[in-house]
Structure 1
Amino acid sequence: MEPTLKVAREFPHTVFEHCSGYKMAPNMGVYNGRFYQGRYLAGMLAGRMSGTGIAGMVAAFPIPEVIQGINSFTLGMRAVNPSARMKVVWVGTWYDPGRELDAAMALIGQGADVLTHHTNSPAAVQAAEAAGRHAIGYCSNEARYGPKAQVAAVTLHWGRFYTDTAQQVLTGSWAPRNVWGGMGQGFVRFGDFNSAVPQDVLRQVKAKQSEIDAGRFHPFSGRIADNRGAVRQTGGVMDDATLQGMNWLVEGVDSDLPRA
């Protein structure tokens, strides 16, 4: 983000957009996806597909975006299996296939039979394939790395945003904005279902997906407690400011945030 901001200041007549940042300038906007929406559906699917009731996440850093995903996945999983648990291994990097693979294998050793990740390699999916477990891909369809393991994927799609932004620049209507789009805006999708997913499970997940798309359901709604027993929300829908400052894990997550 800082390098983009620096260059934006050097070229004030050029428009810049930064993915996942939060600082803006007169010629620089920021954008991101509400990944937690897809993660909730992924959790529902994991809860229905798991035999052990344990899912595992290979996670990079404890920033709000990653924590939202862990929490939303866990909430979705426990919505269909209230006794389900989530285990997390933090790898402290966005991309290190070896370390990610070790983390995935450690999660399998702890009983996780559905793996997912918030890192940039398909190592978790590859580990699930090798071990005969399920996996849920992230960022893109990772089925080629785990044709049997991957049961679905949370994927990101920036095309509509890029096209709209380019049109605004061409017409002179562009202005710096903080855009946080979700499934209804086409930023995030949940799909690429494996044929191994039972039809009744698929119908249940797609029904909830339709509710999220239409804005009738929010993953962070109702009563929510953290994994230390504190009630974080008694009802209603969590606002964006709280989501973007999230620094705690929900009930059902058997791991802690790493110390700084």
Structure 2
Amino acid sequence: MKRRTLLTAAAAASALTLGLGAPAFAEDPTKVGFIYVGPVGDGGWTYEHDQARLKVEAHFGDKVETMFQESVPEGADAERAITQMALSGADIIFTTSFGYMDPTINVAAKFPNVKFEHATGYKTADNVGVYSARFYEGRAVQGTIAGMMTKTNKVGYIGSFPIPEVIRGINAAYLHAKKVNPDVEFSVVWAYTWFDPAKEADAAQALIDQGADVILQHTDSTAPHAAAQKAGNVITFGQASDMSEYAPMPRVSSIIDNWAPYYIERIQAVMDGTWESDNTWDGIGPGMVGIGEISDAVPEDVKAAALEIKDKIASGEYHPFTGPINKQDGTPWLAEGEVADDGTLAGMNFYVEGLTGEIPQ
């Protein structure tokens, strides 16, 4: 370190002797870290976060240095990975799965000068912000297509973990399928994983064997699409990413997570010294939730109905959870015209009326 200081001083003296003025030194790049729950090639959730990381690099150029660790299990392993990234000099770290919430808070307490952003959680601190997308808005669009296209009136849903984010999606999809098809029934299979192609394929096949001709998923691989393609006459939807390699059938549309604008904005705030802990929850209108192209396998009237719902949600004219809606046991939840508040949605732990089965505890 001392030698580097002497060399720098000598270089500065030489520059002044040559009449070049004070030398300009490049600022150190802002170091940005990402912790991923799946592999960057999962084709879904982690893939889109990593695509956003690449867009961060393209936007800022040599002003940033990014790093990531993929396939980090939720729990103690996550705390170790986040700690290591903080020790490596990261200025801001994005932890991109619900199960990273407590590990993020724990590590942040030890590194008060590092900024942390946790995806889909709710715990904040002076140096911890949270962000998520209103995926349930996209589920309303998917539910509309599902309800209108099913021929068996049986829709299968692969859930990852029984957390509010996933329960909201199931409820939103069911409510909108039911609106266009009063005879529709939903079956939910819990995979207890975000990314496990074998488990996801098995879950899809189990639902297909039960008669489902529409499969929705809140897991991250394309395995359910492959199972549906093999079965034939079963439609699917891309989760988190477009998964367009399975279009026009079985994948007929998708929910696409668009994280890049948010990441760029928050990293810029770190650079400017204006970053503050915040809670962001955006949807279709601001562009954080995208609806992938609806394929030609979808009839025009179905496509029109889906796009109408999408546009009304985007404009704020319509909220997917607008009453009258009862809870599963028949007790009233939302009166006619009443809209769900964000607090209830954020902690949603119940099914709406018409859904069968219990939510695992």
- How does the TM-score come out when normalised to structure 2? 0.69
CA contact (8 A) 1:42 1:190 kept: no
Match of 1:23 among 123, 126, 131: 123
Task: Quote the residue 2:272 is aligned against.
Answer: 171
Task: Quote the residue 1:193 is aligned against.
Answer: 294
* Deviation, structure 1 residue 146: 6.0
CA contact (8 A) 2:248 2:296 kept: no
Give the secondary-structure state (helix, strand or coil) at the position aligned to 2:138: helix
Task: Quote the residue 2:339 is aligned against.
Answer: 237
* Deviation, structure 1 residue 17: 0.9
Percent identity, aligned pairs only, is 44
Task: Quote the residue 1:219 is aligned against.
Answer: 320
Q: 20-29 vs 166-175, which deviates more? A: 166-175
CA contact (8 A) 2:240 2:256 kept: yes
Task: Quote the residue 1:46 is aligned against.
Answer: 146
Question: What's the RMSD between the two structures over aligned residues?
Answer: 1.5
Please give the alpha-carbon distance, in whole angstroms, between the structure 2 residues aligned to 1:30 and 1:177: 6
Please give the alpha-carbon distance, in whole angstroms, between the structure 1 residues aligned to 2:219 and 2:309: 26
Please give the alpha-carbon distance, in whole angstroms, between the structure 2 residues aligned to 1:146 and 1:89: 24
Please give the alpha-carbon distance, in whole angstroms, between the structure 2 residues aligned to 1:251 and 1:126: 32
Please give the alpha-carbon distance, in whole angstroms, between the structure 2 residues aligned to 1:221 and 1:157: 25
Please give the alpha-carbon distance, in whole angstroms, between the structure 2 residues aligned to 1:41 and 1:102: 26
Task: Give the unaligned 5+ runs of structure 1.
Answer: none
Task: Quote the residue 1:77 is aligned against.
Answer: 177
Task: Quote the residue 1:156 is aligned against.
Answer: 257
CA contact (8 A) 1:40 1:76 kept: yes
Please give the alpha-carbon distance, in whole angstroms, between the structure 2 residues aligned to 1:114 and 1:226: 24
Please give the alpha-carbon distance, in whole angstroms, between the structure 2 residues aligned to 1:251 and 1:84: 13
- How does the TM-score come out when normalised to structure 1? 0.94
Please give the alpha-carbon distance, in whole angstroms, between the structure 2 residues aligned to 1:146 and 1:5: 40
* Deviation, structure 1 residue 9: 2.5
Match of 1:139 among 212, 224, 240: 240
Q: Which amino acid counterpart does residue 291 of structure 2 have in structure 1?
A: F
Match of 2:137 among 14, 34, 37: 37
Please give the alpha-carbon distance, in whole angstroms, between the structure 1 residues aligned to 2:352 and 2:228: 25
CA contact (8 A) 1:95 1:121 kept: yes
Task: Quote the residue 2:227 is aligned against.
Answer: 127
Task: Give the unaligned 5+ runs of structure 2.
Answer: 1-100
* Deviation, structure 1 residue 243: 0.7
CA contact (8 A) 2:248 2:297 kept: no
Give the secondary-structure state (helix, strand or coil) at the position aligned to 2:239: strand
User: For residues 210 and 145 of structure 1, do their structure 2 counterparts lie closer, same or farther at Cα, with a shift above 3 Å needed?
Assistant: closer
* Deviation, structure 1 residue 50: 1.0
CA contact (8 A) 1:126 1:146 kept: no
Total equivalences in the alignment: 259
Q: 97-106 vs 131-140, which deviates more? A: 97-106
Q: Which amino acid counterpart does residue 127 of structure 1 have in structure 2?
A: A
CA contact (8 A) 1:59 1:66 kept: yes
CA contact (8 A) 1:116 1:125 kept: no
Match of 2:354 among 248, 252, 256: 252
Please give the alpha-carbon distance, in whole angstroms, between the structure 1 residues aligned to 2:124 and 2:347: 18
* Deviation, structure 1 residue 145: 4.5
Please give the alpha-carbon distance, in whole angstroms, between the structure 2 residues aligned to 1:155 and 1:76: 19
Please give the alpha-carbon distance, in whole angstroms, between the structure 1 residues aligned to 2:197 and 2:291: 24
**2:214 equivalent to 1:102:** no
